[in-house]
């Protein structure tokens, strides 16, 4: 992608892969830098996969610029096109592409077959980029780079909490670091206390911390969290239901190796550790019973059956039953 920095644009860019963050970053950069802002109305066109007609996209690519310069044609979310073979029609265009056109195709959460004729032409003429999901071990460096770009620092404990809380969602990590960097100011330091005191993170992290205590069968720790937080019974039920639902799926997996299990559950390998521990501490029957308790207390929290009880007391009862 070094050519982009030099404003040397290829006739076609195919941006695909499981990690949408980098696809969007490159696409947005081209959108902002391929031509002056006042020319975009005339020479920049965007189509979206679900509504796009490939013939229209090709015809747009074959048009000459309205004013001297280049045309930039975007086909975004191409994975959503109604006809899966639509992209193969690009072969005819790529045999004689317009020198004044930059065609950008984004294809998220998957990979286009590189053996197709049009993809071979795309590789020969332009850039084919596959964005892969990063390993969890790469997240600290990613967070550090975000902080450096924002001219702030971050301590190790705060970084570890962000990795635990967010996992490999790079866009959410970027958004959180953006908010925290504004909070601490230039040359400030993001600490664990600042991360915890951030409203958005604290609210979402409390159920995660409680799940962590429950999967370890840490009764005292779970009760301390319940008594010292503003967590509602509804938030707790929703979080625990998702946890135990995933846990029973994990327990029945024939292949529990971390990469396979994390992929099937849509989790990072770091997050999978709670399921490994939960599987050691709860039998399948206990997990089924826990899901039953969650349904029962969800009904009670909504006043069904004429039972009304303080939210904190309900949570204490629920957690006691699950762990005993």
The domain spans of the chain are 2-131, 136-197, 206-323
**pLDDT, tens digit (0-9, with 9 covering 90-100), for 22-76:** 999 999 999 999 988 889 989 999 999 888 899 999 999 999 998 788 999 999 9
Selected residue with higher pLDDT from 3 and 136: 136
pLDDT on residue 299:
82
Name the CATH architecture for the domain at 2-131.
Answer: 3-Layer(aba) Sandwich (3.40)
**Selection from 324, 269, 272 nearest residue 293 by Cα:** 324
| Cα distance between the two ends of the chain | 56
Contact status, residue 47 vs residue 72, Cβ threshold 8 Å: no
How far apart are alpha carbons 191 and 159 in whole angstroms?
8
**Which residue has 């032409």 as its token pair?**
121
**CATH code given to domain 206-323:** 1.20.272.10
| 76 three-state secondary structure | strand
136-197, which class in CATH? Answer: mainly alpha
What are the φ/ψ torsions at residue 129 (nearest 5 degrees)? -125, 130
pLDDT on residue 199:
47
Does the pLDDT at position 307 exceed 60? no
Listed ranges 96-110, 247-261, 292-306; the one with the highest mean pLDDT: 96-110
Tokens of 12: 């076609």
What are the DSSP calls for 282-313, one per residue?
--HHHHHHHHHHHHHHHHHHTTGGG----HHH
Does the pLDDT at position 238 exceed 80? yes
**pLDDT (average), residues 237-247:** 86
Strand order of the β-sheet with 71-76 is: 44-48, 71-76, 101-108, 12-17, 127-131
What are the DSSP calls for 153-190, one per residue?
EE-HHHHHHHHHHHTT-HHHHHHHHHHHHHHH-TT-EE
Kindly report the length of the chain.
Answer: 324
**CA-derived radius of gyration, the chain:** 25
**pLDDT, tens digit (0-9, with 9 covering 90-100), for 137-172:** 788 899 999 999 999 999 988 888 888 777 788 988
Identify the helix (H) or strand (E) that includes residue 47: strand 44-48
**Selection from 80, 100, 103, 81 nearest residue 91 by Cα:** 103
Mean pLDDT of the chain: 85
**pLDDT (average), residues 264-268:** 78
Question: Is there a shared CATH topology between the 2-131 domain and the 136-197 domain?
Answer: no
């Amino acid at each position: 992608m070094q050519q982009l920095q030099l404003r040397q644009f290829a006739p076609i860019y195919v941006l695909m892969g499981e990690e949408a963050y980098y696809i969007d970053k490159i696409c947005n950069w081209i959108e902002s830098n391929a031509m002056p802002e006042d020319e975009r109305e005339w020479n920049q066109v965007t189509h979206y996969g679900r509504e796009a007609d490939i013939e229209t996209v090709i015809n747009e690519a074959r048009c000459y610029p309205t004013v001297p310069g280049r045309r930039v044609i975007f086909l975004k979310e191409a994975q959503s096109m109604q006809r899966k073979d639509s992209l193969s029609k690009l072969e005819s265009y790529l045999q004689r592409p317009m020198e004044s056109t930059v065609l950008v195709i984004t294809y998220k959460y998957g990979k286009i077959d590189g053996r197709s004729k049009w993809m071979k032409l795309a590789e020969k003429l332009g850039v084919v980029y596959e964005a892969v999901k990063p390993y969890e071990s790469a997240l600290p460096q990613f967070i550090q780079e975000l902080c450096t770009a924002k001219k702030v620092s971050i301590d190790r404990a705060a970084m570890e909490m962000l990795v635990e809380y967010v996992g490999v969602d790079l866009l959410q990590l970027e958004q959180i670091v953006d908010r925290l960097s504004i909070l601490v100011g230039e040359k400030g330091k993001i600490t664990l206390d600042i991360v915890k005191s951030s409203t958005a993170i604290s609210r979402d992290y409390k159920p995660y911390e409680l799940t962590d205590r429950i999967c370890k069968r840490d009764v005292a720790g779970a009760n301390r969290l319940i008594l010292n937080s503003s967590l509602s019974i509804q938030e707790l039920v929703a979080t625990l239901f998702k946890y135990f639902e995933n846990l029973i799926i994990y327990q029945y997996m024939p292949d529990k190796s971390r990469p396979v299990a994390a992929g099937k559950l849509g989790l990072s390998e770091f997050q999978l550790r709670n399921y490994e521990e939960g599987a050691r501490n709860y039998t399948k029957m206990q997990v089924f019973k826990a899901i039953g308790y969650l349904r029962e207390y969800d009904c009670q929290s909504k006043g069904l059956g004429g039972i009304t009880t303080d939210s904190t007391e309900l949570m204490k009862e629920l957690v006691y039953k699950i762990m005993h």
